Structure 1
Amino acid sequence: MNVLIVGCGWVGTYVASRLLSKGYKLWVTCRTPEKAAKLKEMGLRSYVIDFDRDAAINDLPKTTFDTIIISVPITRKDAIETVSSRFKRLTLFLKELSFRQVLYFGSIGIYPKVDGLITEGTFAAEELDEKLWLGESRLRTVCPDINVFRLGGLFGQERIFAKYFAGKVCEIGFQTANFVHVEDVCRIISITMEREVRGATYNVVCPEHPLKKDVIAVSAAKYGYGLPSSFTDSDQTAKIVSSNLLVAELGYSFVYRSPLQF
């Protein structure tokens, strides 16, 4: 099975290592020669492309990819014009490729910060985050049956929630957690590929949503980090992003049902 990972960062590298162990043939792109060299050491066919600047890779093989996984980020700091240009170049890149299935890593940040249960269909397009919706929309112009995974906050391996708050004032401790472990992301990708799913949009988030302060306390004790110096309760947003659609349609059972298990 031929797989191309476009934008092989932390999650992409984890997924690539798992797929490689299953005997898949993998090609990956990244933004710097240094990262490309590290990926080559893993046994991956790696190429350098920065979609803020480039739109093509001249020596990418003319093969049909069974699956393309797109992990090109959109950050809070990005201007809308930057996102527009980045994804225009990305779509031009994709138009030159032959593929059967496409997966895109979006974000649950696309939803407004509100109290209540949120499904994939809770909000109209005009209510979604402008930049994140632009990214999804641009990709759908060239991949109408793209699968969009709106990922929760990603953890696992060296990403431990408690370490970001040790000795600091935590202002988000009373918010609900909408997190997911990278192992579950990897398993969901594998199922989606094996079943040749097309045209799905899923929230990829743990089914359970404890308070962030409780996640911090558990992970601090587990991994030996200090606790925050204090918590403020000024922000108690109870935003709960539901993964029920994914569970129902894929029959998936999360390895980590709660961030308290990370």
Structure 2
Amino acid sequence: MTDTTKLHKVSILGCGWLGKALAQKLISNGYEVKGSVMKEEDLSELRQLGIKAYRLAFNPELEECSDDDFFDTDLIISCLPPRRREDIELFYSQQVESLKQEVLKFGIKKVIFISSTAVYPDTLGKVTEDLQLTPKKASGKALIKAENLLLESPDFDTTILRFGGLIGYDRHPGRFLSHRKELRNGSVPVNLIHQDDCVKIISEIIKQNVWGEVFNACCQDHPTRKDFYQKAARAANLPEPEFLEDEQIAYKWVDSSKLIKKLNYKFIYTSPLDTI
């Protein structure tokens, strides 16, 4: 769904590694950007970047909020991931329900929710947005519940972005598996995306006013886990990880064709190998 509403103010919930890069891009594009963090000591970094900074925490209800002005916005972008805990499904859905109530309370009309390809189970082949979702991991189950909580509301428009594994800059993949031996799953494809593409995709959604959609977002090419992480280690001058010769196992190959077609999107990095 598209509309012609002009957005001026953007609030980023969880303005961390991705949120800070996104905020700087949006500021350069003329938006007023507000960012939230959970810790008082992180506020100064946001301010130094020109981001209006707020302390905010959902535990799972909204307990910490330095200023309601954070919710005076045209669009809220949730970069709030599910945290590891025993009751992750319940707690995270309660967090997102609390966020939803704030969106309704302040009359915010647009939401972008940063989800993950963790919502997909490992299958033998390609996964698309219309696949029936039956993840095994608790984090995937928690994200599905969160997505549905937002998508089902008729009072605001939500677009969901299911990002693959995030790489780029201070997240150099050469360090991820270096030195490790007898690793499994070397033949499965990786589903990764660079920070620059994440920022560009979100910017395009805002620019083109594309709402009510669910998008996969991964590099179009999917090298094997072995090829990618060995090359990344070599590029970082680190010992290469060593993989066992596995039999073919279940895997997922995340397809981003819908996003490419809907946004007329051209990836900055077509392959994760190009990021190394």
TM-score, scaled relative to structure 1: 0.91
How far apart are residue 53 of structure 1 and its match? Answer: 4.7
How far apart are residue 165 of structure 1 and its match? Answer: 1.1
Match of 1:60 in 2: 68
How far apart are residue 76 of structure 1 and its match? Answer: 4.9
User: How many Å separate the matches in 2 of 1:260 and 1:171?
Assistant: 20
Match of 1:216, as an amino acid? Y
Structural mapping, 1:84-233, within 5 Å: 84-123=93-132, 125=133, 127-128=134-135, 129-142=140-153, 145-169=157-181, 170-228=183-241, 230-233=242-245
Contact 1:178 1:206 in 2 (8 A): yes
Report runs of 4+ in structure 1 exceeding 3 Å deviation: 75-78, 141-144, 233-238
1:114-173 Cα offsets, whole Å, 9 max, x none, are 1111100021x5x24421111111222446530000000000111111201111123343
User: How many Å separate the matches in 1 of 2:201 and 2:86?
Assistant: 28
Task: Pick closer, same or farther for the CA change 1:86–1:153 going to 2, 3 Å.
Answer: same
Match of 2:274 in 1: 261
Contact 1:174 1:237 in 2 (8 A): no
Which residues of structure 2 form unaligned runs of 5+?
A: 1-7
- RMSD of Structure 2 on Structure 1 (CA): 2.0
How far apart are residue 186 of structure 1 and its match? Answer: 0.8
Which residues of structure 1 form unaligned runs of 5+?
A: none
Structural mapping, 1:31-70, within 5 Å: 31-55=38-62, 57=65, 59-61=67-69, 65-70=73-78
Contact 1:180 1:259 in 2 (8 A): yes
TM-score, scaled relative to structure 2: 0.86
Match of 1:105, as an amino acid? I
How far apart are residue 93 of structure 1 and its match? Answer: 2.2
User: How many Å separate the matches in 2 of 1:63 and 1:149?
Assistant: 21
Match of 1:6 in 2: 13
How far apart are residue 2 of structure 1 and its match? Answer: 0.9
Which secondary structure does the structure 2 equivalent of 1:3 belong to?
A: strand
Which secondary structure does the structure 2 equivalent of 1:98 belong to?
A: coil
How far apart are residue 60 of structure 1 and its match? Answer: 2.6
1:30-51 Cα offsets, whole Å, 9 max, x none, are 1111112221221211111111
Which secondary structure does the structure 2 equivalent of 1:28 belong to?
A: strand
How far apart are residue 220 of structure 1 and its match? Answer: 1.9
Percent identity, aligned pairs only?
27
